Amino acid sequence: MTVLSADIGGTNFRLGAVKEDGSIVKFEKIPTSSVFSSGSVLSDLENMLRTFSEGLSFDAIAIGFPATLNRERTQVVQAPNIPFMENVPVCEHLQKAFGVPVLAERDVAFALCYDAEKYHLPGKGIICGVYFGTGIGNAILIDGKPLTGRHGSAGELGHIPVPGCTISCGCGNIGCLEAVAGGKALARIQREKFPETPIGEMFARHWQEQALMEFIDGMAVAVATELNILDPDQMLLGGGVLSMKDFPRALLDEKIREHTRKPLPWRELNLIYAEDEADKSVVGGAIYARRKLNGRNKYEEDIAC
Ligand SMILES: [Zn+2]
């Protein structure tokens, strides 16, 4: 089965045609601003996929969004970094346009599907992924199935409120964890405290200073919050922030352990650090689609995603 897989980002779209063995036969990165031009989000998405897939044959489409989707995973409800993408019935439209099954999910769930397979995590049980990128991405797989919650908005770890914090968050609330511990927060710290330092050098030059110690503590609070609520079988950490030059992983590890409930899950804590790879959501989308279309029983029984 070949899957046409799309990772819809706030800055770039990544598109790939992924074969059964996980190899990518064609890959493209397209600036988001160049795609949405006609005023119709659905037509723009369709045209982009049509142009990319010219001459290719594929059996399904997987499409990942940095967004809240409805529980049924058929509509994009709201995407904070793509403002005009609200209440968009993406699956129905693309299914009609291309005549193949279309599976939509949060981009971070696709990333976790990829990492779960790459790091050989078992399909059974609870697998959590926390990705520190622009914000704090979070996906939770329960027996291989992404946790959606009642409205589709489960796993919004970045929006845990921080007492006393008065910084506005992109979601409209004030004092979300993401406002103190995501990539955007790092950029704010750089602007306010270290304007002379390039963002890529922030940890290399300043990790022992208070502002960054607090930033890392915020990251640890995010991870420990999830550990203390879900007591997952596997906890995987990833995202661009962890891959920045001289990021103090040992300090993050120590602080996560400090905040994790004793004696358990602290005593048996095993954190998996995933490599940052730009096309993981594209390949992960294909893994997800293949597993899901292969049948629900198989999907739930013997898979890593
Ligand atoms: Zn928020």
What's the pLDDT tens digit per position in 81-114?
777 788 999 999 999 999 999 999 999 999 999 9
Question: d(Cα 299, Cα 303) in Å, to the nearest integer?
Answer: 6
pTM above 0.75, yes or no: yes
Tokens matching residue 197? 């330092």
pLDDT band at 296, cuts 50/70/90? low
CA of residue 176 to ligand 1 center, whole Å: 5
Architecture of domain 3-110+278-301: 2-Layer Sandwich (3.30)
CA of residue 53 to ligand 1 center, whole Å: 36
CA of residue 179 to ligand 1 center, whole Å: 7
Say which residue, 205 or 305, is predicted with more confidence.
205
CA of residue 159 to ligand 1 center, whole Å: 4
CA of residue 156 to ligand 1 center, whole Å: 8
List of E strands, 37-116:
60-65, 68-69, 76-78, 86-88, 102-106
Neighbours of ion ligand 1 (CB under 5 A): 159, 169, 171, 173, 176
CA of residue 163 to ligand 1 center, whole Å: 13
Question: d(Cα 224, Cα 218) in Å, to the nearest integer?
Answer: 10
CA of residue 120 to ligand 1 center, whole Å: 32
pLDDT band at 229, cuts 50/70/90? very high
CA of residue 133 to ligand 1 center, whole Å: 15
Q: What is the CATH number of domain 123-273?
A: 3.30.420.40
Question: d(Cα 1, Cα 18) in Å, to the nearest integer?
Answer: 9
pLDDT for the residue 38? 81
CA of residue 171 to ligand 1 center, whole Å: 4
C-alpha of 41 from chain center: 22
Q: Is the pLDDT of residue 61 over 60?
A: yes
pLDDT for the residue 304? 44
234: CB partners within 8 A, 6+ apart: 116, 121, 122, 125, 126, 127, 128, 270, 272
Q: Tens digit of pLDDT for each residue in 134-188?
A: 889 999 999 999 999 999 999 999 999 999 999 998 888 999 999 999 899 999 9
301: CB partners within 8 A, 6+ apart: 123
Instruction: Please give the share of the chain, as a percent, with pLDDT higher than 70.
Output: 96
Tokens matching residue 148? 């959606």
CA of residue 184 to ligand 1 center, whole Å: 12
CA of residue 228 to ligand 1 center, whole Å: 20
For the chain, the domains span: 3-110+278-301, 123-273
Question: d(Cα 24, Cα 171) in Å, to the nearest integer?
Answer: 34
Question: d(Cα 253, Cα 258) in Å, to the nearest integer?
Answer: 9
CA of residue 80 to ligand 1 center, whole Å: 10
Q: How many CB atoms lie within 10 A of CB 194?
A: 17
Average pLDDT over residues 190-199: 97
CA of residue 167 to ligand 1 center, whole Å: 10
CA of residue 23 to ligand 1 center, whole Å: 36
Tokens matching residue 102? 């279309």
> Residues 227, 261: contact at Cβ < 8 Å?
yes
Q: Is the pLDDT of residue 238 over 90?
A: yes
CA of residue 188 to ligand 1 center, whole Å: 16
CA of residue 157 to ligand 1 center, whole Å: 9
* Distance (Å) of CA 3 to CA 21, 36, 107, 169, 227: 11, 23, 16, 35, 33
Average pLDDT over residues 235-251: 97
CA of residue 136 to ligand 1 center, whole Å: 10
